Structure 1
Amino acid sequence: MNAPVQQTQLEVLNRLYTMKLAQVEQATQQGNSLRSMVLEAEAEAIFNALKSAK
């Protein structure tokens, strides 16, 4: 993969991961366990994409 494209992809994935973690925190604070579980699964998928993109 082209280095600038890969860097851009990593930046986007990092932003998505950070935002998803904030959503998990918010759902947890609201006591919404089902939403928290879904968001945690999404965060894990983004994290795995980050690992494979590096």
Structure 2
Amino acid sequence: MTVPIPVRGLGEILVSVRGGSEAFAALSDRPIEKNTQVLVVDMASARTAIVVAVNP
């Protein structure tokens, strides 16, 4: 997480892609703090990931 996810809001994650990293918008049903490791469980759109905290 590079930008925390607030309640009913968007955050931002960095995803390793093709030897580099890309920023994606991130959604979750719970708030997630910055620097939390997350797992992408689905994609809401081409640039928006649905995530859960790995160790909440």
TM-score for both structures, normalised by structure 1? 0.22
Question: TM-score, with normalisation over the residues of structure 2?
Answer: 0.22
More strand by share: 2
* Higher RCO (C-alpha 8 Å, min separation 6): 1
